[in-house]
Structure 1
Amino acid sequence: MLGLLRKTDGARTDTNDFTTYVYYDQDDAACSTTPSLCAYRKGDLWKVINALGQVTEILRYDASGRALMVMDANAIVTEYEYHPRGWLIATKVRGSNDGSEADDVVTRYEYDPIGQVKKVIQPDGAFIRYEYDAAHRLTDIYDNAGNRIHYTLDAAGARTKEDTRDSSGALKRTLSRIYNQLGQLKTAKTAYDHPTGFTYDASGNGDVTTDALGRKVDNDYDPLNRLAKTLQDVGGINAKTEFKYDALDRLTKVTDPKNLDTTYAYNGFGDQVQLTSPDTGVSTYTYDSAGNRKTETDARNITRTYSYDALNRPTAVAYPTTSLNVGYEYDAVPTVCAAGETFAKGRLSLITDASGSTQYCYDRFGRMVRKVQTTNGKVFAVRYAYTLAGQLSSLTYPDGAVVTYQRDAQGRISQIDTKRAVAGATTEVLLSQATYHPFGPTAGWTYGNGRTFARPVDLDYRTTAVVDPSAGGLSVGFGFDAVGNIDKLTPPGATNALLTFGYDALNRLTALRDGPTNTAIEAYTYDATGNRQSITTASGSKTYIYPTDSHRLTQAGPDSPRTYDASGNSIQIGVNSFIYSDAGRSSELKQGATLIQTYVYNGKGEQVRKYTAANDRHVVYSESGQWLGEYDDNGNVIQQAIWMDDLPVGLWAGNGAQQALHYIEPDHLGTPRMVIDPVRNVAVWSWDLKSEAFGDSAPNQDPDLDGITLVLDMRFPGQRYDSGSGLNYNYFRNYDADSGRYIESDPIGLGGGLNTYAYSNSMPIGAFDSNGLATAVRLPPYAPGEPLPLGTIYCEAGAVAPFVNDAKLASYEVICIKDCVIAHEVSHVRDANRLNSGVCRYWGWLPAIHPRGIVSFNPKQERLNSEFRAYATELRCLSAKLRRGICLSDMCTKVVEGRISDIINIILPTVYNGTYPKGVPGYE
């Protein structure tokens, strides 16, 4: 057979990174006798063999050459069904019973007569339905409960209004937009008619943004339409940030409002080889021939070295202190895995590190079902079970306690049952009757003893209160200013303020006042970059001092000076000295020459052990980084947390027969504020929302005054208090509530914000940072019916990976253009590695979730630059198909020509004018 691709050789020279393609050398025997049963023809692709010899086989095609049956390297078969017109109507990942679909994971698609997706039915029966107007534009999304999102469109197809309604038709969420004659967004309005205005320069670049309080942000661009300057709060704070680029549009310098420069240097391949930061000093990087980061040398002159397998998966990180080395193994089934948990090929199976090891087991659908963590010789096993749709149905904790999740018809958690790991234990209901806002967050639930907990929202889907009306429960309302900042705490449903909050023009918290008297309680000031300059309380004022050449806090009031190492880690705060390991993590706490506490981390960056001469504590986390439990030096449970998605709702305290279930009541951000003893129905722990805003106040560990204290170290989302240091451990960093900032610079640099020490943009009432990397705001999620875009990039196994959403492509488009869409996303992968190389090192390993940890570009101009390069790559790929006669049918030629036309005439203009991805097919 001539002209068929046999082998591709990757960029690596240190290993054989070939991908081999094998084709059927003759027709299936049935083709000549029973054409309807013909499985393949001569020349059809049969096998794809990767560099490690793992084989994917295409076992059956239909008469149009579409793959019907594919078997992966784990011998798992996926079947595809098509409509007579070629539309994909079902994907079936086969279970262990070949004679039945009962254990298959089946996703079905329904279409209207012209091929628009009408319904997507998930494996558990939940579905999303779509409606279109006569111009074939999406106008409505329904779930199987009858909730609806309706889009009002203008003549150009832009969404001028979005309404979310429940099954009765009641309006639950709304927003509106106004566009100018050029189709550019002019005004965006909230449900309460608070406008944000946008203007544009002559080239279509976003110029001035004016918020609902009249505050302006002015953007300026260079002659190549690259963002050159941003001025925040024009005429007020005037916080100026400037950007410089090289001839290839690569960001080379960011100058912050303090006039400090962060610079970037690149090699000839576009890889970032140097970062110079006022806070972390000079870091240098080298790469292998495939663009994988090979070495990283920080400002302390400590080098970490990375190794990769032939598939470019990281296999090792080596440090000068070899006891810190991390190893990653794939594909092999650990001995701890039981039957049905042995599908390891292509997946992370073992991490070895300074703490010990972690082993992973997977079911046939690629979902992690068992994790066995060995820390200092103690073994902690966590097991997961899932619904057919891949949602968590039960979690077994290291002590054997089990949490079971019941779900409603939309796949959302409706009830949580618990069972302790002691003889004779019975099932206890933690919560039930959970309800949800349409296409939004939970609206509340009933705890097992009858307490109710409500989380109402307004028409902007902001949480307006958290309400437990029973004695001792968390019950507080929230008021908002015109730009959405929480400006007061109220009794639920009332307007009179218990506490008021003030903000500056950059939305940083500046004041707390007593509501009834308007008496000042706390006041904060900041410089333009977000460094706290002062705090004033009833006990007096404290000023903060910083050097002129960095954002490192060197002194807070009369406290002792703070000192740092060359990488910007705090090594001395008062009497506490912090020793950082070669990995850049705080490993020892000392006071003078006395060792107070030692900290140990695993290969994912989680602090899994801390110990003193008298106490040894071990910690286990979920795969999304949530704290699951703390255990003593014998491995016995001290406490275990129970989660409802990303909200902590329950706590087991104690071990064995002494273990007791408690209810956690989280606030609007997910911070625990109350712990309830369900038997006595009283609060046994509380952390008042009206206390110091940045968390610098202790919780009440005995609010019922019975003389028995409950110690719970959970603080803001993702944080746990460390009594040894007085800091809050926040996954990748340590947070100092006293100064309201981190004691280490952000590991992802400016990707987390201009001030690499600031916590949540100094807005702790309205935002949080659950992993110590970047600020998050608890906003309503995208509607589950809104599919992922056509393509994106995300973190998988510690590396940036491309993702193409086949559901966005018709089956013939998969055949004709998918490879070019992949090339587009690979271009983004290169840019992501260039701009923030190693970003995925700070994401948890998420081998059971796909895709998770989507990677984005900051600032916006870098995203537009990356899109321009990616579409140029895709155009080259598509054009090559036409030039080289690769398209073997008129249909394929038309598909390629249509995609080229869309890119040139529709997509690239939106990139040029800065409105991308609005109006782009596949992204609406």
Structure 2
Amino acid sequence: FHRAAKGDVAGAVTGVTDGAGRRFHLALTTQAQRAEAFRKQRATSLSSPASPRSVSSSQVFPDTLPAGTEYGVDNGIRLEAVWLTHDPAYPDELPTAPLARYTYTAGGELRAVYDRSGTQVRGFTYDAEHAGRMVAHHYAGRPESRYRYDDTGRVTEQVNPEGLDYRFEYGQDRVTITDSLNRREVLYTEGEGGLKRVVKKEHADGSITRSEYDEAGRLKAQTDAAGRRTEYRLHMASGKLTSVILPDGRTVRYGYNSQRQVTSVTYPDGLRSSREYDEKGRLTAETSRSGETTRYSYDDPASELPTGIQDATGSTKQMAWSRYGQLLAFTDCSGYTTRYEYDRYGQQIAVHREEGISTYSSYNPRGQLVSQKDAQGREIRYEYSAAGDLTATISPDGKRSTIAYDKRGRPVSVTEGGLTRSMGYDAAGRITVLTNENGSQSTFRYDPVDRLTEQRGFDGRTQRYHYDLTGKLTQSEDEGLITLWHYDASDRITHRTVNGDPAEQWQYDEHGWLTTLSHTSEGHRVSVHYGYDDKGRLTGERQTVENPETGELLWQHETKHAYNEQGLANRVTPDSLPPVEWLTYGSGYLAGMKLGGTPLVEYTRDRLHRETVRSFGSRAGSNAAYELTSTYTPAGQLQSQHLNSLVYDRDYGWNDNGDLVRISGPRQTREYGYSATGRLESVRTLAPDLDIRIPYATDPAGNRLPDPELHPDSTLTAWPDNRIAEDAHYVYHYDEYGRLTEKTDRIPTGVIRTDDERTHHYHYDSQHRLVFHTRIQHGEPLVESRYLYDPLGRRMAKRVWRRERDLTGWMSLSRKPEETWYGWDGDRLTTVQTDTTRIQTVYQPGSFAPLIRIETDNGEREKAQCRSLAEKIQQEGSEDGHGVVFPAELVGLLDRLEGEIRANCVSSESRQWLAQCGLTVERLAAQIEPVYLPERKIHLYHCDHRGLPLALISEDGNTAWSAEYDEWGNQLNEENPHHLHQPYRLPGQQYDKESGLYYNRHRYYDPLQGRYITPDPIGLRGGWNMYQYPLNPIQVIDPMGLDAIENMTSGGLIYAVSGVPGLIAANSITNSAYQFGYDMDAIVGGAHNGAADAMRHCYLMCRMTKTFGSTIADVIGKNHEAAGNRQGQPAKERIMDLKNNTVGIACGDFSAKCSDACIEKYNTGQLFGLDGIKADNPIKAKQGSSDASNY
């Protein structure tokens, strides 16, 4: 700090030099100087008639201020401006204007704040009779908030135009706050002065929460509205939080070193994470709950920023930093570097990645992002209002999408391509109405504490919600379906009932880990069982179906997961198959795949770790029979996929907006046309003897319409309720839940009705899952099918009865159904078993694109059936022949011993145990039943850029099956000389021949309509049109039947992500991020476009960066926001999310713990919200540690 040695401001700080060598001049003024400047300005204003009369001729500006105030002597010195006077990195580029400027009233009160562009960003008004009492303030472009006071100087009223007004009433040790919606909260206080604390809060719904403090004013306990008490134990001297005792008795414990830094966290399930520091207090090692250790090194002894990070695999990443703490270069474990450039204000202006991929950003004088340009020069531009709201986004081809806001800065409409969506709010800022592109409305109601209580959809369907005192959902109503939700003392859900009937049940072990989830489906007991290792990692998932009458096990399917020493989930053992092992390099990038020790697939990758070559077959590698080569555009989009067999070669063309406009192959070229909103509206197919254009017309909300080119007489322009009642092929009927119940052949106008129309009937369970389908003609069923689901909604089985001729010559449904069983690994279907064969699928890690198909005849499987050593001894080991039952520990020992005997590597520990039992290895080896290796047929799935199978390739490189599809997944033709069963369609979909529908995990897809037959289970989170499949299906997919996902393969992302067996990791990270957001919302609020949402984005990208690397995390984040943009997400929200993603990626590159890093970014004001984020409630250890440390 530099102080003035003489003059009117002698002794005051007038300069600051920071640790990077930058010098700042603090321009100070005295009251006399401001008064003189005022008089000169007034004289100029009065002498010039043309000058605006901004200065009142009667206003008094004294030369001095009152000598004393309640805060002490006021010398009148004020900060007028902050100038940057020296910058070592930019010595010749010093700003010509101050970084910030301040003006004051005649009484010395702060009047206005100006940013470096000269824009006034804050304004203040004061009470003329009470010095220093602010009566109004405003932000740039926002309405003025006004305040009224009582005689003691306490605020009694706050008026916020276009928002909530508040009244404050003060009593003895209490404050009553009433808003303009007449909601009341009462704060009860205890203590005096700086130790006064709120000890009880009466909320607007009447619930009461209590807080307890120690003598030092530190929080020591909280009691929620249900009377449940959480205790916070503090260290007597340091005040650090040492443990949190939850209401159910579970405890979180914290350990510290002498520098008061956290060294360990012990969680309620008994797992423990730890940290190590050097003598300077810098983090040097962090060990996670599951035992993986990350180490940090520092080249600069004076810097807190690490220059090296070694992850659990032993791979090291290197970072280089600017003198200002900006990341300049990030070098991954393979030696590939990403470089970053910044302007003189610290704004990132360029990112240069390997393979020549660069992005450039520019900003206006206010620091707002105004353009982004890629390596091909394609530019997206942004425009803002005076308030800083993003008002327009201009795509590279000049198309504009605009956003309008209310006075509080809330988006009220979004217009793109001439189509508008609008939002309405109440005074509390809660959305009360959505108006879609068709003009239909969805409305919302809330309880006094802002919880959603009623939602009426665009189609009139009404859903209601009820909560307990602590905010947990306890009852939901859906047009007559009443669901009750039940929880245990740890707030874990235990069971649900629907209209009084039992639904799902959840069971947990002593660690609190979910072990069993069960329910009844079509009378069958269906369960899912989970297993974990001692580090809490998932080791297995088993699905079972039991006979409803006898309890007999009808179906069982188990998938096992294993981890290498570095913690990577690199081995999966599918049910009744040898282990699938993923070969990786570096931090987990995929290099190959083995089945039972036999290499099947090898990958070559570029410097961005994108797949460039994939080889398959018994000679996988340089002489492989199948070799697929991929190339990319300078912007990172997929450019070509070429095979050593030319028949499946593909070249991809993209327009400036990043839309796929052309796919060319040896046989034909398809060209794609898009609407102004990015919807696929035409497909043109070109071949030597073919030129066909197929149009796709939709109403403004995205519902399919008769195309005016093909149906010029149609007057239909919209389906207001999003329920399509008819098309060129069928007439449709829906129930009150919006579920399709009937689909009947449409009789064209003028055709005589002959009663031979076929009608599909659909029936659903209470969870809106299709359980029965029949197709009827002439009053007789042609086919019937029934479907069985597990508690997670995954289809476990289907039974199909088809019409056939019986012995008497009559046509009737078959007595014995065709039965198919399904097995799952997470959300991916991995096993399909029929009466004759079992087909198993291995997917690309982290995706829904199938990779390997393994088929085993049931006869071969039966030959391979053999008992384990433990099973055999239990069945044959008793003298009376009735068998014995071993405890689980003994079964585990025998299973381990059997594995060692089969591998011919019996450990000394096992030999010693056998000797104690009077047994020998040779004696037990004779008891082991021989293993028969069944004959299996293995094929590679050759898929398009989305993951839709185009061909099955045998190990010798021959095509065993192939098919062609339209853009919506309809099969156009098929070549199947070997009669292979290939049901997979678009990612996540399986074709059902009996109905013509595609099962799509959470619901069913109709490919003829290009949409779902039931509304989205996640409601508006999946998009405003709840029936809609992505309207650009060649770039966007929906593998879960829930929400659109940008087609990541087109940018090479799936190939890069597939380095980590990523589905488990990515799903875990996403779920953890949402939970982190929920917990932060409970502390600081802002779950929707506020602080908690910003921290969730930060945390998600931080974790993705740590797992997949910054390059992949960046693409994941951008793809997610691009998908949101296609679903109508306001551009302002997208920019906000991208900014928070960038912060999270930086945290992932160099921060030890994502939760702590993102909380710190919030506390220091580095995260972004729609209205800005100010850490008015900084997250401290006593508030956040018990939650944040769980991540």
Same fold (TM over 0.5): yes
Provide the rounded CA distance (Å) in 1 between the counterparts of 2:396 and 2:1028.
Answer: 25
Match of 1:53 in 2: 249
Provide the rounded CA distance (Å) in 2 between the counterparts of 1:850 and 1:18.
Answer: 40
2:308 maps to 1:119:
yes
CA 1:93/1:181 → structure 2, altered by over 3 Å: closer, same or farther?
A: closer
1:23-102 aligned at under 5 Å gives the runs 47-58=243-254, 60-93=255-288
Structure 2 runs not aligned, ≥5 long: 1-213, 547-552, 745-758, 801-815, 862-933, 1058-1065, 1094-1103, 1141-1156, 1176-1191
CA 1:912/1:799 → structure 2, altered by over 3 Å: closer, same or farther?
A: closer
1:637 to 802, 815, 838: 838
CA 1:862/1:363 → structure 2, altered by over 3 Å: closer, same or farther?
A: farther
What letter matches 2:967 in structure 1? A
SS in 2 for 1:687: strand
Give 1:866 deviation, angstroms: 12
Structure 1 runs not aligned, ≥5 long: 26-40, 96-103, 333-344, 420-426, 785-791, 805-820, 836-845, 871-894, 917-924
2:1052 maps to 1:775:
no
1:837-852 aligned at under 5 Å gives the runs none
Match of 1:352 in 2: 518
Give 1:580 deviation, angstroms: 1.4
Give 1:824 deviation, angstroms: 6.9
Contact 2:403 2:414 in 1 (8 A): yes
CA 1:81/1:6 → structure 2, altered by over 3 Å: closer, same or farther?
A: same
1:703-718 aligned at under 5 Å gives the runs 707-718=977-988
2:819 maps to 1:616:
yes
Contact 2:412 2:424 in 1 (8 A): yes
- Deviation by residue 1:809-838 (Cα, 9 ceiling, x = unmatched): xxxxxxxxxxxx946766245999999xxx
Give 1:428 deviation, angstroms: 2.8
CA 1:824/1:132 → structure 2, altered by over 3 Å: closer, same or farther?
A: farther
Match of 1:213 in 2: 397
What letter matches 2:828 in structure 1? Q
SS in 1 for 2:1021: helix
1:729 to 999, 1009, 1016: 999
Provide the rounded CA distance (Å) in 2 between the counterparts of 1:833 and 1:900.
Answer: 7
1:358-373 aligned at under 5 Å gives the runs 358-373=528-543
2:649 maps to 1:475:
yes
What letter matches 2:505 in structure 1? G
Identity %: 20
2:1089 maps to 1:912:
no
CA 1:738/1:669 → structure 2, altered by over 3 Å: closer, same or farther?
A: same
Give 1:328 deviation, angstroms: 1.1
Give 1:321 deviation, angstroms: 6.7
Higher mean displacement: 594-603 or 408-417: 594-603
SS in 1 for 2:696: strand
Give 1:413 deviation, angstroms: 1.6
Match of 2:922 in 1: none
CA 1:283/1:413 → structure 2, altered by over 3 Å: closer, same or farther?
A: same
Contact 1:319 1:582 in 2 (8 A): yes
CA 1:134/1:399 → structure 2, altered by over 3 Å: closer, same or farther?
A: same
2:338 maps to 1:158:
no
SS in 1 for 2:731: coil
Give 1:435 deviation, angstroms: 2.7
Provide the rounded CA distance (Å) in 2 between the counterparts of 1:753 and 1:696.
Answer: 23
TM-score, scaled relative to structure 2: 0.60
Give 1:516 deviation, angstroms: 5.1
2:198 maps to 1:11:
no
- Deviation by residue 1:741-785 (Cα, 9 ceiling, x = unmatched): 11112222232223222211x21111111111121113455999x
More helix by share: 2
Provide the rounded CA distance (Å) in 1 between the counterparts of 2:1011 and 2:821.
Answer: 26
CA 1:742/1:823 → structure 2, altered by over 3 Å: closer, same or farther?
A: closer
SS in 1 for 2:853: strand
Match of 2:70 in 1: none
SS in 1 for 2:706: strand
- Deviation by residue 1:606-654 (Cα, 9 ceiling, x = unmatched): 222222351222222222x1221112479x7333334333132111012
What letter matches 2:407 in structure 1? P
Provide the rounded CA distance (Å) in 2 between the counterparts of 1:375 and 1:191.
Answer: 54
Contact 1:504 1:510 in 2 (8 A): yes
Higher mean displacement: 731-740 or 453-462: 453-462
Contact 2:1085 2:1091 in 1 (8 A): no
Match of 1:810 in 2: none
What letter matches 1:683 in structure 2? T
1:591-630 aligned at under 5 Å gives the runs 591-592=775-776, 594=781, 596-612=784-800, 613-623=816-826, 625-630=827-832
1:165-184 aligned at under 5 Å gives the runs 165=354, 170-171=355-356, 173-184=357-368
CA 1:822/1:512 → structure 2, altered by over 3 Å: closer, same or farther?
A: closer
Provide the rounded CA distance (Å) in 1 between the counterparts of 2:682 and 2:314.
Answer: 50
Give 1:456 deviation, angstroms: 1.8
Match of 2:725 in 1: 554
Provide the rounded CA distance (Å) in 2 between the counterparts of 1:306 and 1:824.
Answer: 21
Contact 1:751 1:774 in 2 (8 A): yes
- Deviation by residue 1:855-886 (Cα, 9 ceiling, x = unmatched): 9998459969999xx9xxxxxxxxxxxxxxxx
CA 1:735/1:757 → structure 2, altered by over 3 Å: closer, same or farther?
A: same
1:685 to 931, 946, 961: 961
Match of 2:99 in 1: none
CA 1:144/1:11 → structure 2, altered by over 3 Å: closer, same or farther?
A: same
Provide the rounded CA distance (Å) in 2 between the counterparts of 1:189 and 1:24.
Answer: 53
- Deviation by residue 1:227-271 (Cα, 9 ceiling, x = unmatched): 1111112xxxx1011111111111111111100011111111111
Provide the rounded CA distance (Å) in 2 between the counterparts of 1:22 and 1:181.
Answer: 49
Provide the rounded CA distance (Å) in 2 between the counterparts of 1:678 and 1:685.
Answer: 13
TM-score, scaled relative to structure 1: 0.77
Provide the rounded CA distance (Å) in 2 between the counterparts of 1:503 and 1:865.
Answer: 24
1:447 to 613, 616, 636: 616
Match of 1:105 in 2: 292
- Deviation by residue 1:566-591 (Cα, 9 ceiling, x = unmatched): 12111112321111111111111123
What letter matches 1:457 in structure 2? Y
- Deviation by residue 1:58-103 (Cα, 9 ceiling, x = unmatched): 4x532123333443344434332012222221122588xxxxxxxx
SS in 1 for 2:1171: helix
Provide the rounded CA distance (Å) in 1 between the counterparts of 2:652 and 2:422.
Answer: 36
SS in 2 for 1:395: strand
1:675-824 aligned at under 5 Å gives the runs 675-679=952-956, 681-688=957-964, 691-698=965-972, 700-702=974-976, 707-760=977-1030, 762-779=1031-1048, 780=1051, 800-802=1074-1076, 822=1080
Match of 1:811 in 2: none
Contact 1:416 1:431 in 2 (8 A): yes
Give 1:318 deviation, angstroms: 1.3
Contact 2:561 2:571 in 1 (8 A): yes
Q: Tell me how many residue pairs correspond in the alignment.
A: 779
CA 1:83/1:225 → structure 2, altered by over 3 Å: closer, same or farther?
A: same
CA 1:94/1:772 → structure 2, altered by over 3 Å: closer, same or farther?
A: closer
CA 1:223/1:513 → structure 2, altered by over 3 Å: closer, same or farther?
A: same
CA 1:197/1:899 → structure 2, altered by over 3 Å: closer, same or farther?
A: closer
What letter matches 1:522 in structure 2? I
Give 1:384 deviation, angstroms: 0.2
Contact 1:191 1:460 in 2 (8 A): yes
Match of 1:315 in 2: 494
SS in 1 for 2:575: coil
Max Rg structure: 2
Match of 1:405 in 2: 582
SS in 2 for 1:802: helix
- Deviation by residue 1:321-372 (Cα, 9 ceiling, x = unmatched): 725x10112234xxxxxxxxxxxx1321110122511111112332100112
Contact 1:524 1:536 in 2 (8 A): no
Give 1:522 deviation, angstroms: 1.4
SS in 2 for 1:627: strand
